[in-house]
């Protein structure tokens, strides 16, 4: 049952990341990006890594060189958990400070350095 839940979570996260990628492509072209959506994208990325590590842990068996793999799995899980936690923290702060409507205006590429040279 747990593997089915992991699989559904992993597939949904991948589908959401793909949809958000398309959203961000449009937003970066417009040079304005929602901070809340960036935080959501970061969270989903970390969560997807976490689900991949969960599959890795679940489907690999211990062998003679298990200590190295156990350390890698543990470190990968810790990094994914920290990323997930940071993403959730940022989303929570933005939600409770009414910051979900904050947009970041991106500068045009190469324009600033070109203007400063004249």
Tokens of 41: 């994208």
Query: Encoding tokens for residue 110?
Result: 């190469």
The average pLDDT across 78-89 equals 87
Mean pLDDT of the chain: 80
b (16+ CB within 10 A) / e for 95-108: eeeeeeeeeeeeee
Percent of the chain with pLDDT over 90: 0
100 pLDDT band, cuts 50/70/90, is low
For the chain, give every domain's residue range. Answer: 2-106
Residue 56 has pLDDT above 70, yes or no: yes
Q: In the prediction, which pLDDT does 118 show? A: 46
pLDDT confidence of 54, banded at 50, 70, 90? confident
Q: Does pTM surpass 0.95? A: no
* Structure token digits, residue 49: 């890594």
Q: What's the pLDDT score for residue 117?
A: 47
Contact 48, 14 (CB under 8 A): yes
Answer yes or no: is pLDDT of 112 > 60. no
Contact (Cβ atoms closer than 8 angstroms) between residue 47 and residue 84: yes
């Amino acid at each position: 049952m747990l593997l089915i839940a992991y699989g559904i979570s992993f597939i949904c996260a991948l589908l959401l990341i793909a949809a958000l990628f398309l959203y961000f492509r449009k937003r970066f072209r417009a040079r304005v990006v929602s901070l809340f959506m960036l935080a959501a994208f970061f969270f989903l990325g970390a969560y997807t890594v976490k689900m991949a590590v969960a599959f890795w842990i679940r489907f690999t068996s211990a062998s003679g060189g298990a200590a190295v793999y156990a350390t890698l799995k543990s470190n990968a899980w810790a990094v994914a958990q920290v990323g997930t936690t940071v993403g959730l923290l940022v989303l929570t702060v933005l939600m409770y400070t009414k910051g979900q409507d904050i947009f970041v205006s991106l500068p045009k590429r190469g324009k600033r350095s070109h203007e400063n040279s004249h």
